[in-house]
Amino acid sequence: MSTATSTLPSFDAGEAVAFRPTAPTDFASAGLNQALVESLVMKFLLGIGVSSGRKIAEELGLPFGPFPEFLRGLKAQQLVTYTDTAAANDYYFSLTDAGRSRARGYMEECAYVGTAPVPFADYVGAISAQSIAREQPKEADLRRAFSDLLVSEEMFGVLGPAINSGKGLFLYGYPGNGKTSIAERITRCYGSTVWIPRTILVEGQILKLFDPANHEPLEHQRSGLLRNDDLDNRWIQIRRPTIVAGGELTMEALEIYYDTDNKICEAPLQMKSNNGTFLIDDFGRQRMAPIELLNRWIVPLEKRYDFLRLPNGKQIRVPFDQLILFSTNLEPKDLVDEAFLRRIPYKINAADPTEAMYRRMIEIFAPKLGFDEIDEQAVDYLIAQHYRRVNRPFRCCQPRDLLLQVRNYCIYNDLPLELKPEYFDFAAGNYFTVL
């Protein structure tokens, strides 16, 4: 499939969130040629049987304007036929025998059916328009993003400049000190939403970008009989993505995946995380050596773009516009050499909480879990008996985990939700058995 010339969707020159893809006027301005539109229309009709022209346009995410003439052309070629009249000078269409034969041929070439793709050049322009580099979060943005998480002032002082830089950072420290929680909230410091295409047309290949498992969409009214907006419905507005990959991450997940059965490509994780953050959690626990994974990011971290290979062998240059985070329980210097650490300018230690922070976390979590009152003597007993006596360090996850155990104990035994020393003994006995 070849591409026609397209016009980059217009956007305001102000904040990145002002980007708003506007509907094309015809197929050419959408960057689509007649052959591609024909294949999408006929594959859709092959699956659904009968559809109105407006429903076809809605399925492709395109305005209805150019479809009447286009569908008349398919009828003149005896590929589709009218089955009934529809509202507002529209008709219902179905495939003829010749049309079904051609549609099956299209399905063998590529089984994708759905929203028409957006040209790759338009996608690149959209990434630039909504770049995190355009955002410069301040302290107020940081405190808003972390409002539901207890973070020390020292951590705020280091995190702020690191997030503002838009470059990679290491979060390291003992397990349970909130490294993943911190990373997941960093995205909130930037503008709240971005627009991405559902699919992209690049070098004749259809590349699926929108991923319901990793992208949280904001619903908008689709085009219909009474269109009341001028949005290009091939795009979808999502919350700035935060994609997390842990010990299951493989090198294959960082390359374009090609479905050989359906002849469709799917974007890799770093491409799905553009305009957001990409967290590599439990760094050092992946099946490949840490240096192998880190070498994959040398060029993207330096140049802010990545190279990906399509199934036809062509390489494309893709924007690398995200804050990449490495979260690890190990010392960064034990994982990689100094040359690579230089490319990740910020290394932030998620330190153990102080006793005051630990007590404050109990005060925060207890009401959320149904405890109406906090017995300070019971908390004193917990700290003295299960921390100071055995020289056990505090961890950020422990107040919530221990309170959950107390809550479950009370519910099971039909007891009032209270914090008592003997309840904490039960919870600590379970929780710290092998710690």
Confidence (pLDDT) at 344 = 77
The three-class DSSP label of residue 26 is coil
Q: Identify the burial level of 354 via C-beta atoms within 10 angstroms of its C-beta, where 0-12 means exposed, 13-18 middle and 19 or more buried.
A: exposed
Establish if 105 belongs to a structural domain.
yes
Q: Is residue 203 domain-shared with residue 150, that is, in the same domain? A: yes
Q: Is residue 66 domain-shared with residue 104, that is, in the same domain? A: yes
The enclosing domain of 309 has a CATH number of 3.40.50.300
Establish if 28 belongs to a structural domain.
no
Q: Is residue 328 domain-shared with residue 362, that is, in the same domain? A: no
Q: Any idea which of 55-64, 323-332, 358-367, 370-379 has the lowest mean pLDDT? A: 323-332
Mean pLDDT confidence for 420-433: 93
The three-class DSSP label of residue 316 is strand
Q: Is residue 274 domain-shared with residue 203, that is, in the same domain? A: yes
Q: Is residue 136 domain-shared with residue 281, that is, in the same domain? A: yes
Question: Per-residue b/e over 292-311, b at no fewer than 16 CB within 10 Å?
Answer: ebbebbeebbeeeebebebe
Q: Are 340 and 298 in contact (CB under 8 A)?
A: yes
Long-range contacts of 380-389 (CB under 8 A, 24+ apart): 381/421, 381/424, 382/421, 382/424, 382/428, 383/355, 383/358, 383/359, 385/421, 385/424, 385/425, 385/428, 386/424, 386/428, 386/432
More confident: 223 or 75: 75
- Partners of residue 200 on adjacent β-strands: 118, 207
Domain end among 316, 349, 382: 349
Establish if 20 belongs to a structural domain.
no
**How far separated are the first and last CA of the chain, in Å rounded?**
59
Mean pLDDT confidence for 407-434: 93
The enclosing domain of 69 has a CATH number of 1.10.10.10
Domain end among 309, 325, 349: 349
pLDDT reading at 221 higher than 50: no
Establish if 1 belongs to a structural domain.
no
Q: Is residue 272 domain-shared with residue 141, that is, in the same domain? A: yes
423: its two tokens: 């309840």
Each residue's pLDDT tens digit, 335-378: 776 767 777 778 888 888 999 999 999 999 999 999 999 999 99
Q: Are 279 and 244 in contact (CB under 8 A)?
A: yes
Mean pLDDT confidence for 258-275: 94
Q: Is residue 295 domain-shared with residue 393, that is, in the same domain? A: no
More confident: 193 or 135: 193
Q: Are 319 and 304 in contact (CB under 8 A)?
A: yes
Mean pLDDT confidence for 54-61: 95
**Closest by alpha carbon to 347, among 369, 328, 368, 321?**
328
Q: Is residue 85 domain-shared with residue 210, that is, in the same domain? A: no
Rg of the chain over Cα atoms, rounded to whole angstroms, equals 27
Confidence (pLDDT) at 223 = 43
CA distance linking residue 204 with residue 136, whole number of Å: 37
The three-class DSSP label of residue 134 is helix
Q: Is residue 204 domain-shared with residue 323, that is, in the same domain? A: yes
Q: Is residue 275 domain-shared with residue 389, that is, in the same domain? A: no
Q: Are 352 and 394 in contact (CB under 8 A)?
A: yes
Percent of the chain with pLDDT over 90: 59
Sorted by sequence, the CB contacts under 8 Å of residue 354 that are 6+ apart come out as 152, 394
382: its two tokens: 């917990």
- The angle, 0 to 180 degrees and rounded to 10, between the axes of the packed helices 398-412 and 421-431 is 110
Confidence (pLDDT) at 229 = 63
372: its two tokens: 């109406």
Domain end among 93, 116, 139: 116
Q: Are 277 and 243 in contact (CB under 8 A)?
A: yes
Confidence (pLDDT) at 10 = 39
The three-class DSSP label of residue 55 is helix
Residue 6 gets which letter from DSSP? B
Q: Give this prediction's pTM.
A: 0.82
Each residue's pLDDT tens digit, 391-402: 999 999 999 999
Confidence (pLDDT) at 156 = 81
**Closest by alpha carbon to 309, among 251, 234, 261?**
251
Q: Are 424 and 382 in contact (CB under 8 A)?
A: yes
Q: Is residue 302 domain-shared with residue 203, that is, in the same domain? A: yes
Q: Are 355 and 399 in contact (CB under 8 A)?
A: no
Establish if 8 belongs to a structural domain.
no
Establish if 2 belongs to a structural domain.
no
Given the structure tokens 């104990």, which residue do they identify?
A: 409
Q: Is residue 389 domain-shared with residue 262, that is, in the same domain? A: no
Sorted by sequence, the CB contacts under 8 Å of residue 151 that are 6+ apart come out as 159, 178, 182
Confidence (pLDDT) at 387 = 95
Confidence (pLDDT) at 224 = 45
More confident: 279 or 197: 197
Q: Any idea which of 123-132, 243-252, 373-382, 411-420 has the lowest mean pLDDT? A: 243-252
Structural domain range at position 209: 122-349
How many domains is the chain partitioned into structurally? 3
Mean pLDDT confidence for 5-17: 39
Q: Please give the distance of CA 107 from its chain centroid, rounded to a whole number.
A: 29
Mean pLDDT confidence for 202-214: 95
More confident: 220 or 413: 413
